[in-house]
Each structure stands twice: as C-alpha cells, then as structure tokens.
Structure 1
Amino acid sequence: MTTIGFIYPDHAAEDDYPLAEQLLGGSDGDIGLPVAHIYGTDLHAVPELLDLGSEARLAEGARLLAKHQPEAVVWACTSGSFVYGWDGARNQADQLAKVAGVPASSTSFAFVNAAKALGVKRVAVAASYPDDVARLFVDFLAAGGVEVLSMSSADIDTAAEVGQLAPEAVVDLAVSHDHPDADAVLVPDTAMRTLGEITAIEEKLGKPVLTANQVTVWEGLRLTGTTRLVRSLGALFRTRG
C-alpha cells in the first residue's frame, strides 16, 4: 500500500480525503490517505496564518502521522503556506521533510506543479479569502511562473465558514469567476469541499479546474511516484503529467 499523510488545519472539509482515498484505491484499497489535524485560529489573516504554518505546529502534525508510516507528507493548507512567500514556503516544506523523514510539500506548491503538469500558464483565481490574503496567492503563483489574468475574493473570514458552503455555491464560485483567456480556474482553499463538484464545474467551464484538496492529493501521489487515472477528479487526474 502507498500511504501519504496530510496535515490538515482544524476541521472544515477534511472529508474530501477519505473520498479521494475511496476514488483512488477503488476495490484494491492500495492507497491510504491518513489525515492528522493541527489546531490554531482558522482566521484568514496574515499573522494567524503565519502561526498556523509554523515549524512547531507542522512538526506536531508529522508526529501524529508517524504511526501511519507515510511515504510522503503534505501540508494541506494553501494560505498557511503561500503566506510565507515562495522561499519561505520552500523552507517550510524542507523543514517538514526533515522532521517527517520523507518527502514533503504543501498545497501552494501543489497548485504550481499541477498547473505545469497540465500545461496551464494563465489562470483565473476564484478565492474564498479576504482580498489581501488572496493577493498573496497571486504573488506566489507568479513566482512559480503561473500568470493570473483575474482574481476574485469572496472575503470569507474563517475556514469554518468556507466549510459550510453548499455544493451549488462552490460550483458558482468557480464558474462565475472564470476569465475567457484563462487556461484553467484555480480554487485555493482546503477548507472548501470540492472533490464532489469538480466534474460539474469542468462541464460548465469547458476547461480544467484545480481545487485545493484535489491538487493536494495529487501532489502526495506525485511525491511517491504514484499515478492514478480517475475520471471523476477532473482533468488533472486524467493525465499522466
């Protein structure tokens, strides 16, 4: 079995991970995606996000995952990684890898790597965050070579509120904030349940959508050299990239 550990902040949309495990493993059950929770404030504000993604908190997450003997670990939080900037997020992932003793990454790098795998260069961002936080994601993408043609911010203050969004609201957020020249739409919040809505979003858009929990799972598979083709998880999971 391939086991990939995820460090998830507080509680909101972590049920996307057992859903992904079911979709990826199928009847064979050969992929395990255990989730460990770390706790802090769930406010989408820079000081709180810097605390949430601190070395000490992620080390605690790695410790909780150790019993599962993961082959890779991913910090399943977009804002708690891109808030550090490109170099800071790289150091964050490197320190996590050192503590966990296995390859590590974060959702922010997952977005960049997923975009590259699909050949996506220009995107629209449909963010749930307040504007100042969303703009830091735009900066992070630019540092990774992804051009943002348009960015919207829903100005939702907490992850708990994002986790309460109805499925139709998630679909509308992505579809209504597309840009005609964008290669894909990015939805960057692991607090948002998206895996069950990806097919509907892509059908309406006529182009790929990359969502936080989707790319986070994909990044874990990438780190372990594992490939799964799953039609229900969007264009990203229909390519061997």
Structure 2
Amino acid sequence: MFAWKYKIGLLISARNQVIEPDFNRYKPAGVTVHSTRIKKDQDYTNVDTMTELQAAAHEAAVIIGQAGADIAVFGCTAASFLQGCGQDRTLSASLQASAGIPVVTTATAVIEALQAMKLKRLTIITPYIDEINRRESDFFTGNGFSVTALEGMNIEQTSKLPGLAPEEIYRFCVRHFDNESDALFISCTNIRAMEVIPYLEMHLGKPVITSNQASLWYALRQAGSKDCSDHCGLLLREY
C-alpha cells in the first residue's frame, strides 16, 4: 500500500490553505494525509464562526472515518479551545464517536507537546482578534501554563491568514517575545508559521511550537514514528 506506515486524516475548515501543505511537506515517507473539509460560509475568524465550525465538524468526521485513516486531526486551534479547559478533549471524544477512529484537536496536541517538553511559561503569538485571544489565554492558564505575553495580529478576515508572509510572522514573533518565557507558541493552523520554526529557535534560543507542527507531532507519535524533517524544530527532532 502507498501508506505503508500510517494514514493521517485532517478535518479542516474549507477556508484553510496551509495545514495540508505543511503536513505533506514535512511528513515522513510512507505516511499519507487525507483531508475532509468543513463548510464555513463566513470569511471571518471570531467566536461565532468558530462555534459554527465545531458543530459542522461532525459530518466531516463521519466522512474521514470512511477514508480508513488511522487517526484524524481536527485542525483548527481556535475552534478547539473556545469553551475553555477540557473542551478540547470533550470535542475530540465527540468527533471520535462520529468518525469511529481516534481524533485529536490541535489544542490538545499543543498541550501534549508542551507537557512532553516540560515547558510552563509561554509567549503566545496569534493572528486573532482580542475576543479569541482572551479565550486562548484562559485555556492555557486553565491547563496549568503561565502566559507571560500574548500578542495578536488582529486579523478577523480568514482569507488574509494564508497570505501572511513567513518573514512577517518571524518579525512579529521576535518583536513580541518575552525573554522570561520558556517557549514561543504560534497559534493558528492557517498561517505559514511552520516555515520559520528553525530560524526563530536559533534567534530566540528557546523552543518554538506551532499549531501545525504540534498536530503533526502528535499524529506521528501515535504511530510510534520519529522520522521527520529536521526543519520541524526541536519538538519533532527530539520528542
């Protein structure tokens, strides 16, 4: 079979243009990625549209289960932490019941990655508006992390997210990183943050976690795989 190691399913917003290329670019040989898109009528990223995405994800979960994936990732960070600590795992369980295969949310994958690396104090960078940033801060605090800094780019129009150039993301992160933090977390599966991980880790001297990187890491570790591109940063290289 073409997927002689592992098949990863993706449940993603119809407007997400980044997570699929990231997974396909950085996955090891023998792993295939199979996506099902979730209808998202409005070109906005806010609490209302993310709540709608949660509800619409169950139909997509049924479809991804039929594809025979070994695990599925609900690839939207904001939609998996909106209701606070524990909601990510509740959503995973609900989607898993629909899919009939293991399902993890991006928010859960990020928490698992941070815990594996024993990181506690975070600078969080997002493209989001304030109403989502406040909920993200509450989510990480509720999970036992200290958020030493959180800066958002205040982008509400979803279609603008993939257009953020990697160098723009890099500069924003460097400008707002708190040196008292243990690590930098860049939130959102629809921005090209994964491309700048090694450069940020070199510049900051701290681990860098991104939504797509943590999601890929979690899925691969469930398969027992540690074979991945060195470009993926400390997380995928050593954990």
Q: TM-score, normalised by structure 1?
A: 0.90
Counterpart Cα distance in 2 of 1:89 and 1:139: 13
Structure 1 letter corresponding to 2:39: Y
Distance 1:84 1:42, change over 3 A: farther
Q: Which amino acid aligns with 2:97?
A: K
1:72-97 Cα shifts (integer Å, max 9, x gaps): 11100011111122233221110111
Distance 2:186 2:215 in 1: 12
- Are 1:31 and 2:37 matched, yes or no? no
Instruction: Kindly indicate whether residue 111 of structure 2 is the aligned counterpart of residue 112 of structure 1.
Output: yes
Identify the residue that residue 135 of structure 1 maps to in structure 2.
134
**Alignment: residue pair count:** 234
Compared with structure 1, are the counterparts of its residues 97 and 12 closer, same or farther at alpha carbon in structure 2 (3 Å cutoff)?
Answer: closer
Show structure 2 runs of 5+ residues with no match. Answer: none
Equivalent in the alignment of 1:10 = 14
TM-score (norm 2): 0.91
Q: Shift of the alpha carbon at 1:202?
A: 1.5
Hey, which bits of structure 1, 4+ residues long, moved more than 6 A? none
> In terms of mean alpha carbon deviation, does 123-132 or 222-231 score higher?
222-231
Distance apart, 1:139 and its partner CA: 0.9
Q: Partners in 2 of 1:228 and 1:23 — Cα distance?
A: 10
Deviation at 1:67, TM superposition (A): 4.2
Point out where structure 1 has 5 or more consecutive residues left out of the alignment. none
Asked if 1 retains the 8 angstrom alpha-carbon contact of 2:65 and 2:101, the reply is no
Q: How far 1:158 moved relative to its partner? A: 2.2
Q: CA deviation at 1:129?
A: 0.4
CA offsets per residue over residues 103-154 of structure 1, 9 Å max, x none? 1111111111111111111010111101121111111111222211011111
Q: CA RMSD in A?
A: 1.7
Aligned to 2:148: 149
8 Å contact from structure 1 (residues 7, 76) kept in 2: yes
Distance 1:21 1:136 in 2: 30
The alpha-carbon deviation at position 183 of structure 1 amounts to 0.8
Q: Which residue of 2 aligns with 1:59?
A: 58
Looking at structure 1, the residues matched to 43 and 208 of structure 2 have their Cα atoms a distance apart, in angstroms, of 25
Paired with 1:7 and 1:188, the residues of 2 have a C-alpha distance of 17
2:73 aligns with 74
